Amino acid sequence: MENLPASSGSLVLLEETKKNPFIKSNGIEYVSLAAANGSVPSVVVTNFGDGPDKKGGVVPGVGPGYQERETWTRQMDFIMSCVGFAVGLGNVWRFPYLCYKNGGGVFLIPYLLIVFVGGIPIFFMEISLGQFMKAGGINAWNIAPLFKGLGYASMVIVFFCNTYYIMVLAWGLYYLVKSFSSTLPWSTCDNEWNTPSCVETFQHQDCKNSSLTNITITGNMTCAQLANASSPIVEFWENKVLDISSGLDEPGRLNWEILLCLMAVWVIVYFCVWKGVKSTGKVVYITATFPYLVLIILLVRGVTLPGAYDGIMYYISPDWSKLSQAQVWVDAGTQVFFSYAIGLGALTALGSYNRFNNDCHKDAFILAFINSGTSFFAGFVVFSILGFMAAEQGVEISQVAVSGPGLAFIAYPKAVTLLPVSPLWAALFFIMLLLLGLGSQFVGVEGFVAGILDLFPGHYQYRYKREIAVVICCLLCFIIDISMVTQGGMYVFQLFDYYSASGMTLLWQAFWECVVVAWVYGADRFMDDIARMIGYRPFFWVKWCWLFVTPCVCMGIFLFHLITYKRLTYNNVYVYPWWGEVIGWFLALSSMLCIPLTFIYKLFRAKGSFAERWSYLTTPVWGAHHLEYMATPLAPGIDDDRVVISETVM
C-alpha cells in the first residue's frame, strides 16, 4: 500500500478490501473498517499537506500552520473546570429558595426526575459531542452542518450571559471591599445615602401586640410610620450600590465606584483566560474548591445559631400537595437546565480539550452528582442563617427567604450584621460569592472564545491570535456593561437576565440539540461514536431520553413559559414599558432565530433536489483526528461498512 500524496488540498478516494486492513498516510497507519459482510469499505480523506505536531515536528496530512487542539494537562483540570462553570451562584441563591417555595423536600422528587431524564442526558451529550468533534460550540455542529445555527445560537447566549453575569461579581467585589471596616456600612442609618425613614431595628412584634397604630415604638416613629420604613441594608443596596432611578427611561449618571470594580473583575478574567486551558485549568482549582470550604465554615457557624433548626426544617419539610401544581415541575425543569449550564456551548468547548478516549460518560455522572449535591447542601447553609435572621427579627421565615440578588445583597448581608465579628463573616461570604461567579465567568468566556477561534482555518494561526480574541471579547462585554453601572443599570441587567439567557432560550436550544443528535445524525450512530471513544456503550436509557423523553420535557416547559408569560416588573412595582419588552424579546430571539434562519439559508444555497440538499447538508464534516479514531473497529456484531472522513474546511 503506497503512501498518500501530501499535495495541499488534494482529495483522495481509497477503496480497500479486507485483504488490506491498513490505510497509510505518509507512514501513519489507520485501521480500515472492513465490513462484516465482506463489502468494500471506503474512506474519503481530504489532505492538506504537512503541519507541526505537538512537539514541533511534522504531522503528515495536516494543513500548513495547523495547530493541534490543546488538551488538559490532567483530567482533573476538566473536572474542576466543569465544576467551576456549572456550580455557580444559581446553586446557592436560587435552588434553596425554589425548594422551600415548592414544598420543601417534596421538590426533590420533580427535581431529581428531571435531572435523570433531562439534565444528565443533555449534559452528557454536550460534553461527549465536544470530545468527539474536537471543536467548540460552533464547529461541533459540523456533525450535521444544516443545523450549525445551534452553534451560533449558543455563542449568542453565552455572550449575553458573560455580559450581564459579571455585574454580580462587580457588586460582590464592591461589598467585599466595604466589608473591610470595623462597622459594616449597611448596618447603620447615619450614612449620606440613608433617608429619614431608615430604621436599624424593626419591632414588628410590638406593633402586632398593640391595638393602636399611633403608639411610638422606635425612636420618633409610630407603628403606622414603621410600616413604610426601610432598613439600612436595603438603602445601601438601592441608594448607594445601584443608586437606582425611577425607570428604564432614566439612565442617569455613572456609578464610578462600581465601574472600577467592573474593570477590576474583567482584568482578572482576562489574565486567567488569555493563555487557554493551560492557565484556566489551574485557576479553577481555587475557584471551584475554596467556595466549598467557605460553605462548610458558614454551615458550622449557621447551625450553632438560635433559630437555625427552624430554618432548616422550613427548608426540607415536605408539602405533598405541591406535587399536583404544574409550576413546581416547571420550576424544577428550569432550575436543572439553568444550573447545569446547558445550551451555552461552554460544556462542548470544555469537552473538546479532553483526550479522545476520555471516559466522559463517567465524568458526566460525577459532575451531575456534584452539581445537584452542592445545590442541596447550600440550602442548609442558607436556611440556617435565614432561620437565625427570622428569629432575631421576630418574623416568619417566609418574610426573609428571598432568591437571586436579594439573597446575596440584602438578606445575607443583613444576617451577618447580627453576628459577632460581622466583617469577618461578610468577607467570607463575598469571597465565596466572587469565586463561585469567577469560575463560571472564566469558562463562559473560554467557551465563547473557543467557538469563535474554531471558525478560523489552520493557516490563519498566528502567535497572539488567542490573546487578541480574548481582549476583544472582554472589551465588547465591558462596553455593554457600562449601561448597567448607571442609575438605570439594574433595569438593563434585569432585561438581560429575564430574556437573553432565560429558561425559554435554554429550553429551545436543548430541544433542538436533542432533535439534531438523536434524529438527524442518529442516536444509535452517536452511541457508536461514544463507544469508540470510551470503549463501552452508555446506559441505554440515555438514548431513549435523547429520542423521546428529553425533547418532550424541554418543549413542554417551553410552551408553559410562553402560555404563562407575564410582563417584566422590578420589585413587583415598576412595570417595564412596551419598548423595554421589545428590547428584551430582541435579545431572546437573537439567539433563538439563529437555528431556523441558518437552516433556511443553507438549504436554499445548496443545489439539487430537496432530498439531495438534505443528504448533502446532513452529512458530517469530520476533522483530521477522526482519521485515526473513527477507523477503529467497533464491538463485535456492529456493522460499519463505510466511513467518510474529510478535514473541516471553513
Helices (H), 306-463: 308-316, 326-339, 346-352, 360-393, 405-406, 412-417, 422-453
Q: Is 371 annotated in some ligand binding site?
A: yes
Residue 436 marked in a binding site:
yes
Q: How far apart are CA 413 and CA 427, in angstroms?
A: 10
What secondary structure does DSSP assign to 471-538, as a single string? Answer: HHHHHHHHHHHGGGSBTTHHHHHHHIIIIITSHHHHHHHHHHHHHIIIIIIIHHHHHHHHHHHHSSPP
Q: Is 142 annotated as a binding residue?
A: no
Q: Which uninterrupted H or E stretch holds 217? A: strand 216-218
Q: Is 475 known as a binding-site position?
A: no
Check the CA dihedral 304-307-313-315 and report its sign: negative
91 has binding-site annotation = yes
> What is each CA distance from 523 to 517, 541, 615, in whole angstroms?
6, 11, 17
User: Rounded to an integer, what distance in angstroms lies between the CA atom of residue 195 and that of residue 49?
Assistant: 73
Contact between residue 483 and residue 494 where contact means Cβ atoms under 8 Å apart: no
Contact 488, 245 (CB under 8 A): yes
Q: Is 339 annotated as a binding residue?
A: yes
Greatest pairwise CA separation for the chain in angstroms: 101
Gap between the Cα atoms of 301 and 419, Å rounded: 10
**What are the residues whose beta carbons fall under 8 Å from the beta carbon of 400, sequence distance 6 or more?**
386, 389, 390, 393, 411, 414
Q: How many other C-beta atoms are found inside a 10 Å radius of the C-beta of residue 293?
A: 12
Dist. CA 189–CA 198, nearest whole Å? 6
DSSP labels, 176-189? HHHHSSSS-TTS-S
**Does the annotation place 358 within a ligand binding site?**
no
Nearest to 108 by CA among 341, 314, 329: 329
Binding residue per annotation — 87?
yes
Cα separation of 303 and 312, whole Å? Answer: 9
User: Strands 42-48 and 643-644: what pairing?
Assistant: parallel
Q: Please state the residue numbers annotated as binding site for Na(+).
A: 84, 86-87, 91, 339, 371, 436, 440
Q: Please state the residue numbers annotated as binding site.
A: 84, 86-87, 91, 339, 371, 436, 440
